[in-house]
Amino acid sequence: MIDQLLGFVTYYWPEMITIVLMMTLLVAEATVKDEHAPRTKIHVYTQFMLGLVLVNLFLNLGEKPLHIFHNAVTIDPFSTLIKIIMTAGTMGAIFLSHSSRDIYTNLKSEFSVMAVGVLIGGMLLASANNMLTLYLGIETLSILSYVLSSFKRDEATSTEAGMKYALYGGLSAGVALFGMSHLYGVFGSIQFVEMIDKIPGLAGLNLAIVIVSFLMFFVGIGYKISAFPFHMWTPDVYQGSPIPVTAFFAIVPKMAGVAALVRVSFVFFQEGSALTVTWTGLILVIAAMTMTVGNVTAIGQSSVKRLLAFSSIGHVGMMILGVVVMNEAGVQAILFYGIAYLFMTLIAFYITSCLSDMYGTDSYDVFRGLVYKHPLMAIIMAGVLFSLAGMPPFSGFVAKFNIFSVIIEKKHYGIALVAAINSVIALYYYVKLAKTMIFSEADGEERVLSFTTANQIVIVALFIPVLFLGIFWDSAMALAGNAQLFIK
Amino acid sequence: MMGLTSYLVISLFLFITGLVVMISRKNIVAILLGIELILNAAALNFVAYSRYVTGNLDGHIFSLFIIVVAAAEAAVGLAIIIRFFQIKETIHIDEATQLRN
């Protein structure tokens, strides 16, 4: 028994290293004597340990999928890939936080502590295989996120963002939990593997309770990925939070939520049953509404952070279309979308952060005539915007193409049309921002100085995958398409 | 004699009360109380199902975790509310209007 549990630990290295990292960071932060010390050593240590986590995750990628710790946790290529995306996103956000002026100097290593904590929650959520680990994952993710969003604690906007996040988050987690409690009553277990055996035998009142409970359950996940009726908090929280935190939110909690949605959908709903039709129908409608609301509302925005928030809502709508088809191709499309989205989002927030550090605001005006002030920055930002809009040859195009191909293969022509219209709307507001950068006259003669060489190297390095994945996407798909992604 | 139904009715009542409190009250601390009511409704459900239907300990364990998480969430929520009060000198939800379109 003990031998078996210890044997499972070998699959759990990434999580364990992350937990050790968080604990040591807390101690290291407490030893810093000077409040205004730059904390470079702690930053390097964090990046090194996260690199170690990445290495361990890549080593796990080749393993056969299995359930560990009495079916509480699943280690499979899907969850490992999601964890890789999240770890890379955390590294990017921590690097950004170290150079950004939006995070107070004395809070820089606290940012790392919180971000690593959110990463632990995300990892738990991505491989959750019973309701308890799923709930703990969601809450670990959420509670630390509330702290992160109110990180600029002297400013009313940031505190307000944290408060709104905490209230909406508490409500949705509570509703999801209420749904889970009834699922437990009907199925008699919190283990996914034991619950799925009982689904075919459901009838009458039990079936009705299960449908309502799953709807409540969806509230919790839908809130994390900011799907349509539960997206109201997203723009406010994204605008109020410091920029590194916003970049972090756009990647880590979102990917963890998408992973949980994929896992729940694929574990519980086999193709053909009435329950499955209800669930996929629900996701179909929600995906369509999410995309439309995100993209249409993005048009009128004047704050770039808010624009990126709405665009991220639109992207999530696109991503969860991969769940509707209920096959492995859909999951591969979601994974590819996640990888492509990671790089695009990081670059967009890096550049916004840099400009907002310089001008103290993130409105459209700071982008006016950027091409005259800093050509490299403007070109890369334009590339990223086109990629986000889904233009070839960038990776955003391939990501969208994959989603379209899986849904058209299943003959969902209506939703494909909605997605296509949404792409056109998205193109409009991305190109509008690109036009502001290139064709508007600059307000002043000043150059952008805060963009250091290190930042330039990072941005160019991040831009390579945006180009490269779009052109050579076969190899990336092979990475995402390991033999068996899932086990039930 | 208390059966499963009475527990379920009580927890449903707690849940709805929590929702109503969250929607109708303007005091942020009261809204946090509403969240606690919802979480306790779920915890009560878990324990009741564990006792009357399933006969295993999953529900008890789950409700213990709910209590722990609820405490953590309340701590963070109150800390943020204190910060909000120090800046705005009120805890009225209608004062939180700086983030808008």
Block residue for tokens 């403007």: A378
Examine residue B99 and state whether it is found in any structural domain, yes or no.
no
Examine residue B31 and state whether it is found in any structural domain, yes or no.
yes
A401, two tokens: 């193409």
Residues on chain B touching A181 (C-beta within 8 angstroms): 11, 42-43, 45-46, 49, 59, 62
Q: pLDDT 10s per residue in chain A (488 long)?
A: 777 778 788 888 899 999 999 999 999 888 887 777 778 888 999 999 999 999 998 888 877 778 888 888 888 888 888 999 999 999 999 998 888 888 888 888 889 999 999 999 999 999 998 899 999 999 999 999 999 999 888 888 899 999 999 999 999 999 999 999 999 999 888 888 888 888 877 778 888 888 899 899 888 889 988 888 888 888 889 988 899 999 999 999 999 999 999 988 888 887 667 788 888 888 999 999 999 998 998 888 888 888 888 999 999 999 988 888 888 888 888 888 988 899 999 999 988 888 888 887 778 878 887 888 888 888 898 899 999 988 888 888 888 988 999 889 888 888 889 989 999 999 998 888 888 888 877 766 666 666 778 788 888 888 888 888 877 767 666 665 554 566 65
Contact A322, A331 (CB under 8 A): yes
Flag if A139 and B69 touch (Cβ within 8 Å).
Answer: yes
Tell me which residue range forms the domain holding B87: 4-94
Please provide the DSSP assignment of A39-101 as one string.
-HHHHHHHHHHHHHHHHHHHHHHTSPPEEETTTTEEE-HHHHHHHHHHHHHHHHHHHHHHH-S
Residues on chain B touching A240 (C-beta within 8 angstroms): 98-99
Chain A closest CA to B1's CA: distance in Å? 20
Examine residue B101 and state whether it is found in any structural domain, yes or no.
no
Contact A241, A111 (CB under 8 A): no
CATH number of the domain enclosing B89: 1.10.287.3510
Distance CA A198, CA A191 (A): 12
> Pairing state of beta strands A66-68 and A73-75?
antiparallel
Give chain B's contact residues with A (Cβ, < 8 Å). 11, 15, 18, 22, 28, 31-32, 34-35, 38-39, 41-43, 45-46, 49, 53-54, 56, 58-59, 61-62, 65-66, 69, 72-73, 76-77, 79-81, 83-84, 87-88, 96, 98-101
Phi, psi (deg, nearest 5) at residue A412: -90, 70
Residues on chain A touching B41 (C-beta within 8 angstroms): 174, 178
In angstroms, what CA-CA distances link A139 with A261, A435, A441?
15, 41, 47
B45, two tokens: 């459900």
Contact A228, A293 (CB under 8 A): yes
Q: Where are the domains of chain A?
A: 316-488
Chain B closest CA to A111's CA: distance in Å? 16
Distance CA A60, CA A81 (A): 10
Instruction: Report how many domains make up chain B.
Output: 1
Contact A284, A412 (CB under 8 A): yes
Distance CA A178, CA A199 (A): 19
Examine residue B22 and state whether it is found in any structural domain, yes or no.
yes
Examine residue B8 and state whether it is found in any structural domain, yes or no.
yes
Flag if A156 and B87 touch (Cβ within 8 Å).
Answer: yes
Identity of the residue in A175, A184, A188 whose CB atom sits nearest the CB atom of B46: A184
pTM, two decimals, is: 0.92
Residues on chain A touching B39 (C-beta within 8 angstroms): 173-174, 177
Flag if A190 and B58 touch (Cβ within 8 Å).
Answer: yes
Q: What is the ipTM of this complex?
A: 0.94
